A and B are shown apart, each in its own frame.
Chain A
Amino acid sequence: MSLCVLDEEKFHLCCQLLLQLSEQLGDGWSWEGGQEGYLRKTALRSVVIDSSSVWDYEGGGADTSCPSLSEQQEGEQEQAAVDASADTDSIKGDMEDEDEDDGVCVASAGSSQLLQYEYHILHSCSYSTPVLYFRACTQEGRSLSLEEVWSSVHPNYRLRLQNSPLNTITMQEHPLLGQPFFMLHPCRTEEFMRPVLQAAQDQHRPVNYVLSWLSVVGPVVGLDVPLKYSTLLHPAPPPRQHRARLTPSPCVCQHHCGAPLYGSCITNPTIRG
């Protein structure tokens, strides 16, 4: 599928654009290696790792409780769903947290460790996609094992990882450095990139393949892609509810003209001079 193919030249372009944004945001990405190079970033992560398959994600500050609909509510919603078949968009469901669910988010007894992660984004010639390599070590310099890395994957992906762990994260030799790294397998990249690329094509707008790809794969291995990358690229349209946020700064010229837009005053020195 030519839509999902990312050749090396385009990969470079996407990386450069990502780098510009990263510099603006202070996100820490750098380009290493010249022409045949890669993007690199290091980050500290606080993770609880234990030998069991249970894992507790720290540092996210997120609501990890799993939603659970009561039977009655589920029944009501199914009924509403059936009744709404004629005009589904106008029927609104109420997404409620009914009670605590066990789900996949269970606190573990392991202790929290501060780990140093190093992430590399390379271009895969065989898949014509970006590919994520990473390694992690403790503060004492001990490298993590594959099992430990699997147990540190975000809960959102852990269940799927358990189904086919070796097809997800494996240890590979870094193509450029020749050192052992973990790699997130690129075989499904095309599948999850296709909706993004198709929409971009249909709507005639550009999309940064590497950035979109990173937003999907990054969280799997604890790499945070700040939302600001996307808000910088796609500033919110100014509907009325955003008016307060997008209110322009008033002009602060020496004449105190009070003009609503910065620098838009008529510099008439006779105005309240």
Chain B
Amino acid sequence: MSDNAESPTETPKEESQPPPDDTSTNDEKKKIDVLLKAVGDTPIMKTKKWAVERGRTILSLSQFISRFLKIEGSEQLFIYVNQSFAPSPDQEVGILFDCFGSDNKLVLHYCKSQAWG
């Protein structure tokens, strides 16, 4: 994954195959490596490293992790970048990878807690 210099192009999110010889429209289909690290006593995911499409949002990722860890409705999952801030749920992981990725992966810490009282 060494072409982060290109700016993401607008591609429709649909099931159909994009033209194979036009790599610029495949941007959102390209995958980046995400490493998920648990914080505190949050359950650790057995598979920590994931190939995730660039266009996937934090919301989507959060729901994936919540489902994987079987997190209940009364609990909230928090995701952190750089262990310093929470990315917006609508943020695309590809952008986060471009800005905060290192060693060819994006490290995200996640924490489960009782939500809002």
Q: A84 — which chain B residues lie within 8 A by C-beta?
A: 46-47
Chain A min CB distance to B100 (Å): 6
How many B residues touch A, CB cutoff 8 Å?
Answer: 64
Residues of B within 8 A of A (CB): 1-5, 13, 31, 33-35, 39-40, 46-53, 55-57, 59-64, 67, 73-76, 78, 80-92, 95-96, 98-104, 109, 111, 113-117
Q: B102 — which chain A residues lie within 8 A by C-beta?
A: 236-237, 239
Within A198-223, the residues touching B (CB, 8 Å) are 199-200, 203, 207, 211-212, 215-216, 218-219
Q: Is the CB of A89 within 8 A of B113?
A: no
Knowing A82-B46, A167-B116, A188-B116 touch, does A67 contact B78 (C-beta < 8 A)? no
Chain A min CB distance to B86 (Å): 4
Q: Quick check: is A14 within 8 A (CB to CB) of the other chain?
A: no
Q: How far is the CA of A154 from the CA of B76 in the complex (A)?
A: 13
Q: How far is the CA of A90 from the CA of B99 in the complex (A)?
A: 23
Q: Is the CB of B100 within 8 A of A94?
A: no
Interface residue range, chain A:
35 or more
Task: Report which of A93, A188, A239 forms a contact with B114, defined as CB distance below 8 A.
Answer: A188
Within A150-175, the residues touching B (CB, 8 Å) are 154-157, 159-164, 167-168
